[in-house]
């Protein structure tokens, strides 16, 4: 079975069309994998941790697509959410905080090494 981990790094605070395009295409890729029955995970990391609280807003242009793949969200990088001020928003909208990669002086990040060891193709947006 095909396995994909889609990591979203784009920053919604940039306000650019590129940022919106990147998150939209990440969600569309997750949707495509999901429709094909693949094992797919979405991870918000870096400044991308800010998307969690943006995408739950019904007025957001990507909300419908996000709703279609929300069950594939593995979570939000805890250490990144701390750095980018997104922890509270992620928790409020019910996202898991990922802490498995104990990077020194952080509260932990996702382990991309584990994902590749488990056969996931890691795609970044």
Domain count, the chain: 1
- Predicted local confidence at residue 1, as pLDDT: 77
* pTM for this model (two decimals): 0.95
Per-residue pLDDT band for 15 (boundaries 50, 70, 90) equals confident
Rounded-to-integer distance, Cα 107 and Cα 39, Å: 27
Q: Which residue has the tokens 């094909």?
A: 36
Mean pLDDT of the chain: 97
Exposed, middle or buried, 40 (CB in 10 Å: 0-12/13-18/19+)?
buried
The model's pLDDT over 32-85, given as tens digits with 9 standing for 90+, comes to 999 999 999 999 999 999 999 999 999 999 999 999 999 999 999 999 999 999
Structure tokens at 80: 């990144």
**CATH code of 42's domain:** 3.40.1260.10
Rounded-to-integer distance, Cα 125 and Cα 21, Å: 9
Q: Which domain holds residue 22?
A: 3-124
């Amino acid at each position: 079975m095909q396995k994909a981990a889609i990591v979203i790094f784009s920053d919604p605070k940039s306000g650019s069309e590129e940022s919106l395009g990147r998150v939209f295409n990440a969600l569309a890729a997750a949707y495509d994998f999901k429709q094909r029955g693949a094992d797919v995970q979405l991870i918000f990391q870096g400044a991308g941790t800010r998307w969690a609280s943006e995408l739950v807003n019904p007025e957001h242009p990507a909300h419908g697509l996000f709703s279609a793949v929300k069950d594939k969200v593995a979570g939000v990088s805890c250490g990144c959410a701390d750095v980018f001020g997104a922890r509270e928003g992620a928790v409020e909208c019910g996202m898991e905080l990922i802490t498995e990669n104990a990077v020194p002086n952080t509260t932990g990040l996702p382990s991309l090494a584990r994902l590749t060891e488990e056969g996931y193709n890691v795609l970044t947006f």
